[in-house]
Amino acid sequence: MKPAPKPTPETQPFWDGTAAGELRIQRCRACERHYFYPRPNCPRCGGDQVEWVRASGRATLYSYVINHRPAPGFADEAPYAIAVVELEEGVRMMTNIVGVENVPDKLPLDMELRVVFEQRGDVHVPLFEPAGGAR
């Protein structure tokens, strides 16, 4: 079985979002910048007037590796890409790329992506697929 995250109080709104089919991230009201991972203060200005907002779900492929030694639960997919994507809002997160063969030729850096969600136990994790849909 693939590992499932276990939410903590400061991350619960993120996971509530994914369960609702939304990618929610935090934004600082003072400096108006988005940030990720979830935490109660803005890492740029230190302010604690922060809010949860819905991200567009649009992203680009920042970097990745293609793992040939699968983690538990990933044997059927190996080799598979472990990727870092940059959201339109400027923050980055780790993810997997679905809907496209995970080979270097099909995964050019900066390709456009959009979020999809996969259920893992009680939690939905955000994954990304090519912006034009599965290929």
Build a one-symbol-per-residue string for 33-62: x at contacts with other proteins by CB under 8 A, - elsewhere.
---xx------------------------x
Place of tokens 């509530």: 16
| Total Cβ atoms within 10 A of residue 115 | 21
Question: What is the Cα–Cα distance from 39 to 43, expressed in whole angstroms?
Answer: 9
Q: Residue 53: in which H helix or E strand, if any?
A: strand 50-54
Q: Is 20 in the site for other proteins (CB under 8 A)?
A: no
Contact yes or no for 93/85 (Cβ under 8 A) = yes
Contact yes or no for 87/24 (Cβ under 8 A) = no
Place of tokens 């339109």: 88
Residues 84-123 that bind other proteins (CB under 8 A): 84, 92-96, 104, 109, 120
Q: Which amino acid is at 48?
A: D
Smallest gap, in angstroms, from Cβ of residue 60 to other proteins?
11
Smallest gap, in angstroms, from Cβ of residue 102 to other proteins?
9
The nearer residue to other proteins, 61 or 130, going by C-beta atoms, is 61
Smallest gap, in angstroms, from Cβ of residue 75 to other proteins?
10
Contact positions vs other proteins (CB under 8 A):
2-8, 11, 36-37, 62-71, 73-74, 77, 79-80, 82-84, 92-96, 104, 109, 120, 125
